[in-house]
A and B are shown apart, each in its own frame.
Chain A
Amino acid sequence: MARKRDIRLVDSIVKKLGLSQDQRELLHEALRHDCLQDATYQDILDLAREIKQEYPGKSQTGKE
């Protein structure tokens, strides 16, 4: 069940931060397995925050 748990965690981060579709696409690219193995929940949360901050122009909701 690791996949379901992991994808649910990333979904919760996307929703928590209110990432737009293109920010979510960037997060998917950033988390390429060959680049970023063993990323923790905190790593992914930090990365998503950075993406939102660094690429804010097209964000839709901005919940955090």
Chain B
Amino acid sequence: MTRAAADRVNEFAAAEIRNALLGKRCWGAFMSFACTIGMDLGRKVPRDPQAMAALDRSLAKLAKKRGRRRAARASRFVGESHVIVWCSWRIEGRHGPIASADSDEKTCEQAIARLTGKTVQHVDIQPGWNLRLAMTSGLVLNVFPDHVGESASFDGNWELWRPDQAFLIGTDLTCRVIDRENRPMELRPEQGRWRVSEKVTT
């Protein structure tokens, strides 16, 4: 792919990501392992029944192994826009920084929880896929893709999942698009839309 073509793909992906986030209310923000963030925004979409059943069974088996009477419950819904942040982040309020991925777990969890109920008012995607979400109440989520190259601690930076596709910001700081069956998608410039790639990839 030429540089110009790659730039066009990136611009198109960034525009779609902006549209998927702008004006959307975050109804669920949570912390997962290693202070990573999950955010559900927009319409509530029932999780794929197969995936939901798999989650329930997996959590039930784990609870049994751990000798717990009650299994943890995963959310039955997912946002029409679901954001996962694996890389470094910082949350700011009107009066300054509140927490970052470097903060202790409790501080991280409390700061992330504050994103719930807020609406995205401005989306800024800068070169290198730095993401800035300005939300109501003066909260700002800054995302810094610092997982780069083969020695990255995690194979990914941040992701946007939608009902039909996912945008994945990788350790090479490019955006890869896949459908819900993990098949790579490519941009059809003439149609201005994504479709499943015909190339065989590993």
B57 and A54 contact, CB distance less than 8 A: yes
A46 to chain B, nearest CB (A): 6
Check B57–A30 contact: CB distance below 8 A: no
* Structural contact, A50 and B62, CB atoms closer than 8 A: yes
- Tell me which of B34, B38, B65, B84 has the highest count of chain A C-beta atoms within 10 A of its own C-beta: B34
**Residues of chain B with a CB closer than 8 A to A33's CB:** 30-33, 105, 109
- Contact of B188 with A by CB under 8 A: no
Q: How far is the CA of A15 from the CA of B148 in the complex (A)?
A: 16
Chain A, range 31-51, C-beta contacts under 8 Å to B? 31-36, 39, 43-44, 46-47, 50-51
Interface pair A28/B32, CB less than 8 Å apart: yes
Q: Do A30 and B182 touch across chains, with their CB atoms under 8 A apart?
A: no
Contact assessment for B181 and A58 in the assembled complex, using a CB-CB cutoff below 8 Å: yes
Q: By the criterion of a CB under 8 Å from any partner CB, how many residues of chain A are at the interface? A: 36
Chain A residues closer than 8 Å to B54, beta-carbon distance: 26, 50-51, 54-55
In Å, the complex CA distance between A7 and B32 comes to 10
Please tell me if the beta carbons of A21 and B153 are within 8 angstroms of each other in the complex.
no
**Chain B residue with the shortest CB-CB distance to A21:** B182
Q: How many residues of chain B get a CB closer than 8 Å to chain A's CBs?
A: 42
Question: Is A31 within 8 A of B50, CB to CB?
Answer: no
- A13–chain B nearest beta-carbon distance, Å: 10
**CB-based contact A35/B181 at 8 Å:** no
Write the residues of chain A forming the contact surface with B, with a CB cutoff of 8 angstroms.
Answer: 2-4, 6-8, 10-11, 14-15, 20-22, 25-26, 28-36, 39, 43-44, 46-47, 50-51, 54-55, 57-58, 60
The 10 A-B residue pairs with the shortest CB-CB distance in the complex, in nearest-first order: A35-B72, A50-B58, A54-B54, A55-B54, A6-B34, A7-B34, A33-B31, A8-B153, A31-B33, A11-B154
27 contacts across the A-B interface (CB closer than 8 A) = A3-B34, A4-B153, A6-B34, A7-B36, A10-B33, A10-B34, A11-B154, A11-B155, A22-B166, A25-B84, A28-B84, A29-B38, A29-B74, A30-B72, A31-B33, A32-B74, A33-B30, A33-B31, A34-B109, A44-B33, A46-B61, A46-B62, A50-B57, A50-B62, A51-B55, A54-B58, A55-B55
